[in-house]
Amino acid sequence: MDNGQMKKVAIKAGIFGAVSLVVMFQRAATKHILITDAAGTHIDRASTADSYNILIDRNVGNGQSGKLIIPLSKTVSSDDIVLEERYIDHELRIYIDSREEGFYLDNAVVTDIDILKSAVCIAENDSGSVCLDFVLDGLYASSSSLTESSTIEVEFAKPNETYDGVVVVDPCANDIYGTDGAIDIAYELKEISAKDEENNLKIFFTDLSGKNVTEERKSEFVKEAQADLVVALNAMKKDDLNEVKVAAYYNSKYFLRRLNNAEFADMLERSTAEKLGAVAEGVYEAKEDDLLLHTAVIPAARLYVEYGAADDEKKAAEGIYNAILKAYEAVNK
């Protein structure tokens, strides 16, 4: 992905939602812009000539312990930085339009954290734009800030140490129900949840690109995230649609005390249909090969939305988020 393509990705993803990160220092701010794998390029590290291991300096200064401190050239501003969190791959990518070729050959990242499996700098073009690719040893939530010292500071923590509750949302397409994924709705959902300052809930998405994530990996990810709820999303956008339709599916094998799967599926269907002014088609038992739902031992449901207008995506996301809040309250009575 060259520099021009990267900017197009950032602009497109920014339409779905640019999220302000935590302000940690005076005037310290950065843009956290959602981008997708689909718009990027898969990079084979073994065969990419323009990539190299990032220098790591373990000599941290006062107040820097436990952080990943990334130096920036003086020409870089917040507008030149794009963050991509690939949670299911335990990966954090930072795209920097630095305009200073070879900057990270001579300037080390400072950190004493021991969770990095690899740190690679990938040249995006010949003018200094790079992707810093950090692979972690597990699933971590991160917060980032741009400091006045021309550095990015990133802190990592286990989700259960940071959030009151965790929800895994899978918007990826699969062949079980013969429908598409719901990436556009997921982007809207991510923006809505990021703006919620009252509820300390974290939504982890299995993927936001529509790539092929196996059902087995999704199930592992739910356990890894120690999730409280699981929502699988399927959708079909039809330009000639006369009425919006919503249906939900649940695993009937597990009966959970505080909130069973059928109740959760009903919450999702009713809340989403209400926001969309849609026809509620019903709540059904999941198909036998719906591995994600059948392996979840927490409230889990699959929502299907058939819609026509672009603004239906935001409405659907609002309904889904309201149902998630209601379900989380029920689980934690």
Task: Give the strands of the sheet with 81-86, arranged side by side.
Answer: 51-53, 116-123, 129-136, 91-97, 81-86
Per the model's pLDDT, the better-predicted residue between 309 and 261 turns out to be 261
Burial class (CB in 10 A: 0-12, 13-18, 19+), 30: buried
Residue 253: what pLDDT?
78
Q: How large a percentage of the chain has pLDDT more than 70?
A: 83
Average pLDDT on 306-318 reads 92
Residues 24, 72, 39, CA angle at the centre, nearest 5°? 90
Look at the chain and count its residues.
Answer: 333
Residue 12: what pLDDT?
40
Residue 255: what pLDDT?
62
Q: Which segments of the chain belong to CATH 3.40.630.40?
A: 161-331
- Pick the range with the lowest mean pLDDT from 8-12, 57-61, 165-169: 8-12
Q: State the Cα–Cα distance between residues 28 and 5, nearest whole angstrom.
A: 27
Q: Which SS3 state, helix, strand or coil, does residue 70 take? A: strand
Q: Residue 84 pLDDT > 80, yes or no?
A: yes
Residue 43: what pLDDT?
37
- Using alpha carbons, select from 273, 250, 288, 287 the residue that is nearest to residue 320: 273
CATH architecture observed for domain 161-331: 3-Layer(aba) Sandwich (3.40)
Is the dihedral angle over the CA atoms 41, 45, 47, 51 positive or is it negative? positive
Average pLDDT on 45-53 reads 63
